[in-house]
């Protein structure tokens, strides 16, 4: 079974010393857990201002890793990149955005233009629910229904809201790493389908070992487990390419 | 072979959020599948609002699943009759010890109203599991140290080992200074690297595996210990050797399943 972690951070993080501070350390972590590949957000653009943290970041990355840039829609000179067309031209597998951390309006007029561009190009957007709340995610999904959204780190306490969001917004997908309630992954798969659940951990900020172990012990059909392990993410990213 | 014992579990539903699998049957079936021999539970009715009724529900679950479910009897600091009720319940099959939740009880862990429960634990030779949350006005690990210091004959388990990453190192250091204090590791914020650090600081004989089922999925908690970079000896202590030692003859395992 191919296992792909759709949510990891690469680089030093505040408040801890982590093995994934560099690429070699991150790959060693993946090997230890039996994870084939990962979508990684550089910590420099997550914990810094993307508008000022792009220099020197264009080096090659191993094939196992897909870089997820952090985009910041804003007035000229205050965001990154300057225009959404630049994101579309770069064709990343997915982008991440942090409206609360980077203080901008997720559904303001500037950002909405970006999301419509990305939706048209089929580029998914990842949002950390632990950062921005499910309400913002729901508002964005309502305003740009064609946009593919991956909800990161929703936690285990909002299953009712999450299930309703998944049922009402077809473009929304959810990362499983923090769906930590007893039986939560199976329950949500039953509510929305395994194709809407994407294996991811949020490591090193969140635990990766538990979700990886759980993947081998889910009480779901093998096909559903394979979807969660890697297939759903591939479908999410490929949807716009067709 | 050393047993795998989950030191911190629950059954029941909860007021704040939806729990998909709150029942004992699901918990035992899942534990069967992943290799957890037994779990000690407090019922969430007991943790939340009615210790006496909730403890009876936990005892009934233990009766239905002998050797697979143990019981932490919740001690309510507000009921004057709690000690006599707990004394009776303590002799029932499957009881592992007591559980205190200073946050839901709105009573500091070091408050003397908990002393009768600790006295019962000392008489019976059973451990006491206490919710331990860094920075909480009622359950900060430093307050649990004070509780343990006043009752040196009782093994006090710091539930969640402080809960927040910012408090894990401090909790481990507090345990090194108080011989009857143990770190129980369940919680959504623990990572393998913090578990490895805790074992390094406090020692492998002071760290106990727990999952916080059914709040949390036991597969996640077990995975952290399975994937942690620990020696086989240390892992066996954390997974159950330590708790088996503390429980003594109160632990009776059903390994027929």
| Helix or strand run (H / E) with residue A27 | helix A23-33
Range A122-138 average pLDDT: 97
Range B217-233 average pLDDT: 98
Of the candidates A157, A159, A213, the beta carbon closest to that of B219 is on A213
For residues B178 and B198, give the distance between their C-alpha atoms in angstroms, rounded to a whole number: 15
Q: Looking at the complex, report in whole angstroms how far the Cα of residue B175 sits from the nearest Cα belonging to chain A.
A: 21
Asked if residue B34 belongs to a domain, the reply is yes
Nearest chain A residue to B169 by CA distance is A16
Asked if residue B257 belongs to a domain, the reply is no
Give which of B188, B194, B213 to mutate to test A binding, by max A Cβ within 10 Å.
Answer: B188
| Number of structural domains chain B divides into | 1
| CB spacing of A209 vs B188 below 8 angstroms | no
Q: Is the pLDDT of residue A58 over 70?
A: no
Q: Is the pLDDT of residue B257 over 60?
A: no
Half-sphere exposure for A17 (CA within 13 Å, toward CB): 1
* Per-residue model confidence as pLDDT tens digits over B155-202: 999 999 999 999 999 999 999 999 999 999 999 999 999 999 999 999
What is the complex's ipTM, to 2 decimals? 0.96
Range A4-13 average pLDDT: 97
Q: At what angle do helices B165-176 and B192-202 cross, to 10 degrees?
A: 20
Asked if residue B255 belongs to a domain, the reply is no
Asked if residue B233 belongs to a domain, the reply is yes
Q: pLDDT at position A242, please? A: 41
Q: pLDDT at position A240, please? A: 58
| CB spacing of B220 vs A18 below 8 angstroms | no
Q: pLDDT at position B63, please? A: 97
Least confident residue range of A138-152, A206-220, A226-240, B125-139 = A226-240
Range A230-236 average pLDDT: 97
Range B104-126 average pLDDT: 97
Nearest chain B residue to A188 by CA distance is B20
| CB spacing of B224 vs A209 below 8 angstroms | yes
| CB spacing of B21 vs A183 below 8 angstroms | yes
Q: Looking at the complex, report in whole angstroms how far the Cα of residue A213 sits from the nearest Cα belonging to chain B.
A: 5
Q: Which CATH number does the domain housing residue B229 bear? A: 3.20.20.140
Confidence label for A172 from pLDDT (cuts 50, 70 and 90): very high
Q: Is the pLDDT of residue A115 over 50?
A: yes
For residues B15 and A1, give the distance between their C-alpha atoms in angstroms, rounded to a whole number: 38
Q: Across all residues in chain A, what is the average pLDDT?
A: 95
Give which of B10, B170, B219, B222 to mutate to test A binding, by max A Cβ within 10 Å.
Answer: B219
* Class in CATH terms, A4-241: alpha beta
Range A67-75 average pLDDT: 97
Asked if residue B256 belongs to a domain, the reply is no
Chain A residue numbers touching B220 (CB-CB < 8 A) = 180, 207, 210-211, 213-214
Confidence label for B255 from pLDDT (cuts 50, 70 and 90): low
| Residue B193 forms contact with A (CB below 8 Å) | yes
| CB spacing of A187 vs B189 below 8 angstroms | no
Give the domain extent around B132. 5-250
Of the candidates B19, B222, B226, the beta carbon closest to that of A181 is on B19
Contact yes or no for A95/A68 (Cβ under 8 A): yes
Nearest chain B residue to A31 by CA distance is B227
Q: pLDDT at position B256, please? A: 57
């Amino acid at each position: 079974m191919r296992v792909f972690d759709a949510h990891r951070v690469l680089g030093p993080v505040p408040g801890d010393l982590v093995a994934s501070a560099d690429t070699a350390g991150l790959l060693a972590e993946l090997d230890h857990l039996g994870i084939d590949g990962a979508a990684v957000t550089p910590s420099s653009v997550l914990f810094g201002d993307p508008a000022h943290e792009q220099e020197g970041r264009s080096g090659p990355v191993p094939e196992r890793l897909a870089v997820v840039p952090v985009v910041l829609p804003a007035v000229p000179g205050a965001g990154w990149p300057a225009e959404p067309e630049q994101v579309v031209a770069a064709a990343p597998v997915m982008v991440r955005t942090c409206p609360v951390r980077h203080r901008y309006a997720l559904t303001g007029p500037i950002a909405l233009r970006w999301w419509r561009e990305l939706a048209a190009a089929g580029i998914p957007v990842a949002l950390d629910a632990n950062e921005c709340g499910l309400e913002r995610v729901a508002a964005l999904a309502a305003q740009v229904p064609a946009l593919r959204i991956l909800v990161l780190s929703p936690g285990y306490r909002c299953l009712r809201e999450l299930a309703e969001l998944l049922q009402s917004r077809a473009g929304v997908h959810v990362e499983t790493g923090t769906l930590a309630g007893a039986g939560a992954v199976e329950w949500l798969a039953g509510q929305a389908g395994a194709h809407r659940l994407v294996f991811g951990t949020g490591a090193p900020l969140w635990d990766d070992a538990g979700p990886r172990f759980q993947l081998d012990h889910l009480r779901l059909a093998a096909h559903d487990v394979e979807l969660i392990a890697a297939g759903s993410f591939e479908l999410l990213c490929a949807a716009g390419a067709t | 072979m050393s047993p795998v014992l989950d030191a911190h579990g629950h059954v029941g539903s909860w007021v704040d959020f939806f729990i998909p699998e709150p029942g004992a049957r699901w918990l035992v079936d899942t534990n069967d599948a992943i290799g957890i021999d037994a779990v000690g539970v407090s019922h969430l009715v007991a943790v939340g609002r009615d210790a006496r009724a909730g403890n009876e529900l936990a005892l009934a679950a233990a009766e239905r699943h002998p050797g697979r479910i143990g019981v932490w009897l919740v001690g309510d600091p507000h009921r004057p009759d709690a000690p006599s009720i707990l004394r009776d319940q303590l002799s029932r099959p499957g009881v592992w010890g007591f559980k205190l939740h200073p946050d839901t009880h709105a009573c500091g862990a070091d408050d003397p109203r908990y002393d009768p429960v600790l006295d019962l634990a000392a008489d019976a030779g059973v451990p006491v599991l206490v919710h331990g949350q860094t920075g909480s006005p009622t359950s900060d690990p430093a307050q649990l140290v004070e509780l343990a210091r006043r009752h040196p004959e009782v093994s006090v388990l710091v539930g969640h080992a402080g809960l927040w990453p910012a408090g894990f190192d401090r909790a481990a250091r507090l345990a090194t200074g108080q011989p009857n204090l143990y770190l129980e590791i369940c919680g959504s914020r623990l990572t393998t690297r913090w578990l490895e650090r805790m074992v390094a600081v406090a020692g492998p004989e002071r760290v106990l595996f727990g999952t916080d089922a059914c709040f949390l999925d036991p597969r996640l908690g077990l995975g952290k210990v399975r994937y942690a970079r620990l020696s086989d000896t240390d892992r066996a202590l954390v997974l159950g050797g330590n708790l088996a030692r503390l429980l003594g003859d109160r632990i009776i395992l059903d390994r027929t399943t």
